[in-house]
Amino acid sequence: MKKKLVSVLLAACLVTGLLAGCGNSGSDAGTQDAASAEAGTEASEEPAEAEKSEMATAMDEATEEEASTDSGEAKYGGVLRYASHNTTSTPGYTPECTTNASLIFLTTAYESLVTYADDGTLAPFLATEWEVDAEEPSITWTLREGVQFADGTPFNAEAVKVNIEEYQKSERNETANVASCEVIDDTHIKMILNSWNSSTVESVGFFVYYMSPEALKDVDTLRNSSCGTGPFQVTSFEPGVSVKYAKNENYWQEGRPYLDGVEIYIVDEPTTRSSAFQAGEYDIILMNNLTVASELLGTGKYVVEQNKTGQGLVMTGLIPNSAEDGPFADPKVRQAMCYALDVEALCEAFGYGLLTPLDQWASPDAVTYDKSLECFSYNPDKARELLAEAGYPDGFDTTLTTDAGNSDMFTAAANMLGDVGIRCEINLVDESAQVNLYSTGTWTGIMGHFASISPDLGLYLGRHLDLNAAFYTKGIQHPDEAMELLEAIRVAPTEEEKIELEHEMQKLIYSAEDGIALFGRPLFIQNEPIFKYDYVKNDYRKVYHVATWSLADCWLDK
């Protein structure tokens, strides 16, 4: 039955003619890569099911190969050449780096108080530990000793205070909850908060990247250079083209970095990026196009790494407008929508083995994912039953809004919905129109839902559920139980209590028994794999999180 359904979906994709190619889901915002449309019909042909299975197996084998090849003694020297579609407006003045796209540039030259462990929880970095006091409220940080900025200026509590105040001058939301900073001594600083919010630890701990107080005296120069505590520092910056770095001789981790330098190139067109990589012009590339990524996997030549739980993971789903006066105001109709969608079949048909099916607001590898929870699964009979109970025994007509980059998959999803009686007219819009719809909450019926799903639900789910949030919030209901639970997560005094409450939030929304399906149906995580040659080694980190991959540990075995 499943194989037959996949075949039907593929046929539907080819018949609709809505895209230049199937499976060309975009990156962060779910938009189509311009290059995939230019690649023509040859690049857009779907591989056979057996080939897709082989691609998924190839990725697993490539990851296993990496685990076995990263042993041995690290070598010094060489310059790593990395290419990506991501760019940055400044590699050096960190408060102006406000998107995940900037993270690879930030983490090459700068560091934060905390990083992420493999399960997505916070781990020490420039801070060795921290103590929270929800009653005061405050966070007291213990800073790592012996750290210097690239210019020799000490990294200490005063430097932390200066940077927090610099971020506040730039009106960064991450530091808005800090009322004041009290320097206790060189290695201890207390941040007094306006109110207790458990997400503030991550906000100020990870999203503030520390610059030398001396370098901050000349911000205009710093914008085109760098002066951090990171393993490399900027030697040249050509906007939209490249950022080049040399080893930081003052780096605090003994024996690191191994490389003499790093060169990051911005190559927007994925086919061009892939061709140059295969020609040996780059050692590593980030690939945001599923079609091109599948072609690279098919060669069997390269080592593959994927972000599993870290900062930057994006969920794609379908979200109904429950705020408007219509069928989706009834939770039974939202539940029916969830039961009507065969997520595994959609991922198999359109994902090239690069999509991770999803049923909660978290990666299955993340600490906030509730492994004990039974979530909505494909059950069209249950969907029809719920629609009848809600007063729609003959179904109803609605709209499904999407951009071109997802129209093939969402058309297949619309066919599934239509099979149970939720008859969708596809409304194709461009990215700017879609942003306007989800920021104003004015979409009709169902729309594509794109959301960052890093583990902290108080921070990331809150960006969609909070009444003052910028994303989707005006188009959904705000039940008291959900709002009270969000606030409880934010004020939880301990990490253990917070995770327990986050699991309660998952149950409230996604439980197959009585989940309110407030955000509709999650579909998948689109993994943007990193492809590298096998001579590129990493000393001890095996997972290349977008946010936590440390170039200090990287070396070249050639």
Q: What angle in degrees, to the nearest 10, is found between the helix axes of 2-16 and 343-350?
A: 60
| Token pair listed for 304 | 């593959």
**CA contacts within 13 A on the Cβ side of 462:** 18
Rounded CA gap, 133 and 139, in Å?
Answer: 6
516 band by pLDDT with thresholds 50, 70 and 90: very high
| Domain 88-223 superfamily per CATH | Periplasmic binding protein-like II (3.40.190.10)
Closest Cα to residue 456, out of 237, 126, 203? 203
Contact 263/278 with Cβ under 8 angstroms? no
CA pair distance 464, 430, nearest whole angstrom: 21
pLDDT recorded at residue 169: 97
**DSSP calls for 287-305:** ---HHHHHHHHHHT-SEEE
Q: Phi first, then psi: give them for residue 315, nearest 5 degrees.
A: -95, 140
Q: Which CATH number fits domain 51-83+231-305: 3.40.190.10, 1.20.1730.10, 3.40.1280.10, 3.30.43.10?
A: 3.40.190.10
What order of strands is seen across the sheet that includes strand 521-526?
Answer: 355-357, 521-526, 314-320, 446-452, 396-402, 422-428
88-223 shares the fold of 2-31+310-526: no
Q: What is the pLDDT of residue 306?
A: 74
pLDDT at 118: 72
**Token pair of 454 as six digits:** 């890093």
Tokens of 523: 């579909």
CB 517 within 8 A of CB 510: yes
Domain boundaries, given as residue ranges, for the chain: 2-31+310-526, 51-83+231-305, 88-223
CA–chain centroid gap for 544, Å, is 13
Instruction: Give the model confidence (pLDDT) of 98-134 as tens digits.
Output: 877 788 899 999 999 999 887 778 899 999 999 999 9
- Both tokens of 324, joined, read 């408007």
Q: What is the pLDDT of residues 408-462, one digit of tens each?
A: 999 999 999 999 999 999 999 998 899 899 999 999 999 999 998 888 999 999 9
Predicted confidence at residue 548, as pLDDT, reads: 56
Q: Which residue has the higher pLDDT, 527 or 52?
A: 527
**Which alpha helices (H) appear in 317-406, and where do they start and end?**
331-339, 343-350, 380-389
The CATH homologous superfamily of the domain defined by 2-31+310-526:
Dipeptide-binding Protein; Domain 3 (3.10.105.10)
Are 525 and 58 in contact by the 8 Å Cβ rule? The answer is: no
Place of tokens 């499904």: 400
